[in-house]
Structure 1
Amino acid sequence: MTLETILKNQENVKVIDLKFDYNSYYPLDLSVTNANLDTVSLTNADEFESYINSYLAANKGSVAYGGYNEKRNLYKRSTDFKDDQTEERNIHIGLDLWVEKGTTVLAALDGKVHSFENNDSLGNYGPTIILKHRIDNCTFYTLYGHLSLDSIEDIKVGQEFKKGDKIARLGGASVNGDYAPHLHFQIIADIGDYSGDYPGVCSATNQQFYLKNCPDPNLLLKIKL
C-alpha cells in the first residue's frame, strides 16, 4: 500500500486545538501571484500577523491555511534560502496553519519522537518536533515547526504519543524564525540522515523530488480547499 493511500485512509485527523472546527478554516494564498501581498511587509512579523488577522476577520475565519507546492516571496530575506552559490528555495512543501500564538499542537497519528531541535536562524522553523509513524508496514514522519521553546524542553527521543495527544504549543515571532504565529505541518516519506530538521522549502530544480517525498498534508487532514 502506498503512503498516499495510507494517508487518504486515515479519518478525523487534526493537528491543532480541536476547538477550531474545519468550518472556521479559511484558505490563504501566499503565492508570488497574489497581488494583495504587494502592500504587505512580509519581512515584518507584526505587520504580517495583522494582515492575517484582518484577513480572517473579513472572511469570518479562525485559522488561515494552505501553502503546499506554493511559490512564495516570503523567504527572500534569509540566506537560509538563497546565497551566492545556491539556487533560490521558494517552493513551500508543507501545509501552514496560521493561528494565534500558544495554540495547542496535536499529534496527527500514533507515533514516537524521532527527533527535535531549535532551528533558530532567521526564517527557519524555530523549535521543531518530528514524529515517526508506522502504519501497514509503511514508515513515515510528520514534522511540526514554529513551536514554542517550552515545547522541546521536556520531550525525549522515543517518547510515544497517541493520535490527538498534545505535543506542543505554537511560538511567537521571537522564537519561531520571525514569522506570524503558525504551524508548519509536513509529511516526509524518507527522512534520510536529518534530525530535528528537514527542508520545508525547495528549489525549482528539486521540486519533483520533494513533492514525491513529502506528499500533500491535506491527504491526511482533509481540509476543504
Structure 2
Amino acid sequence: MNTLEVLLKEYDTSPIPILDSEIPLSDYCLIDLSSKNKSLERFDITSPDSCQKYVDEVLSIHNAYVAFGGYLEHRSLYTKSERFLTTGERNIHLGMDFWCKAGTKVMAPLAGKVFSFKNNDDMGNYGPTIILEHQVGEVTFYTLYGHLSLESIDGLEIGTRFKRGEVLATLGTPDINVNYAPHLHFQIISDLQGCQGDYPGVSSKDDLGFYQKNCPNPNLLFKLSF
C-alpha cells in the first residue's frame, strides 16, 4: 500500500456513510454493473430508464435503499458515448457509485474544503461536480462528487469548508446528470494533474496502471461490507 492508501485504511475503523445520515448502512446493498453480469442482458444499461429498472430490481431483491459498488469494474455502460471512445476505449470505472433517488443528500465523508466545481454538461460526463481538497497530516488528496443537482453548485465558493458528516450536495436527475440514472460517483484522487472541476472517472486498459495508483479504492475509507 502507498501512503494515501494506508491513511484511508487507518482514518476510521468504522464504516462511513456518504449519503443521507438517516439512511442506515444496513439499507445498502452491492450492485454489479460489470460486463460479466448476465442479468444485465435483459436491460439496455446505457438508457437511464432501463438502468433504473435494473437498480430498482436489485434494491427490491435485497430490500435495500442504496445500491453501491463499481470500483475498477469493466462496464458496457459507456459504449454509446463518444467521449469514452475518442482516445482508445475507456470502460474501467475508477470510482465508487451509490445509486439512490434524485434529491438524496450527499454527506462529506471527511473534512475538507472546496477545491473546484463545475457543471460538466456534455453527454456522458458528470453533470454538476464538486471536488474537495483534504489535508490529513502531511498528505494532501482530493475527493470528487459527480452527478449532483444544479442546486449543489449554485452559490458555492472555492475554499468553502465542510465538516465530516455535513451535507455537501444532493443527487441530480437524469436530465441534469447527463443521461444517467440518479447516483453519486465518488472518487479519491491523489494528483489532479491540473484538472479543475473534473477528472477522468473511467480508464482504458492501457492507462489503468497509472489511474489505479492515483485513484485508490474508496472502500478503504468507507469500509462497507460486500
- Which band: TM-score by shorter chain? over 0.9
Counterpart in the other structure of 1:18: 21
Aligned-partner SS, 1:121: coil
Counterpart in the other structure of 2:72: 69
Distance 2:24 2:193 in 1: 35
Counterpart in the other structure of 2:42: 39
- Report the residue type matching 2:25 in the other structure: Y
Is residue 218 of structure 1 aligned with residue 204 of structure 2?
no
TM-score normalised to structure 1 length? 0.97
Is residue 81 of structure 1 aligned with residue 84 of structure 2?
yes
Deviation at 1:19, TM superposition (A): 1.6
Deviation at 1:14, TM superposition (A): 2.1
Q: Could you list the per-position Cα deviations for residues 23-59 of structure 1 after superposition, in whole angstroms to 9, with x for gaps in the alignment?
A: 1111111111001101101122112112211220111
- Report the residue type matching 1:116 in the other structure: F
- Structure 1 alignment gaps of length 5 or more: none
TM-score normalised to structure 2 length? 0.96
- Report the residue type matching 1:92 in the other structure: H
Counterpart in the other structure of 2:114: 113
- Report the residue type matching 1:40 in the other structure: F
Distance 1:76 1:2 in 2: 35
Q: Is the 8 A contact 2:33 2:40 kept in 1?
A: yes
Aligned-partner SS, 2:90: coil
Q: Could you list the per-position Cα deviations for residues 145-199 of structure 1 after superposition, in whole angstroms to 9, with x for gaps in the alignment?
A: 0000110011101111111111100001001021110000000001121000000
Deviating beyond 3 angstroms after TM superposition, the runs of 4 or more aligned structure 1 residues are none
Counterpart in the other structure of 2:202: 201
Q: Could you list the per-position Cα deviations for residues 46-86 of structure 1 after superposition, in whole angstroms to 9, with x for gaps in the alignment?
A: 12112211220111111111000000000011111003xx2
Q: Could you list the per-position Cα deviations for residues 121-146 of structure 1 after superposition, in whole angstroms to 9, with x for gaps in the alignment?
A: 11110000000000010000000000
1:30 counterpart (28, 33, 43): 33
Distance 1:163 1:182 in 2: 20
Counterpart in the other structure of 1:139: 140
Counterparts of 1:53-68 in structure 2, within 5 Å, are 53-68=56-71
Q: Is the 8 A contact 2:40 2:54 kept in 1?
A: no
Q: Is the 8 A contact 2:71 2:96 kept in 1?
A: yes
Counterpart in the other structure of 1:152: 153
Distance 2:109 2:210 in 1: 24
- Report the residue type matching 2:60 in the other structure: A
**Segment drifting more, 186-195 vs 14-23:** 14-23
- Report the residue type matching 2:40 in the other structure: L
Q: Is the 8 A contact 2:128 2:148 kept in 1?
A: yes
**Segment drifting more, 3-12 vs 115-124:** 3-12
Aligned-partner SS, 2:83: coil
- Report the residue type matching 1:170 in the other structure: L
**Segment drifting more, 154-163 vs 5-14:** 5-14
Is residue 184 of structure 1 aligned with residue 171 of structure 2?
no
Identity %: 49
**Segment drifting more, 152-161 vs 6-15:** 6-15
Aligned-partner SS, 2:82: coil
Counterpart in the other structure of 1:129: 130
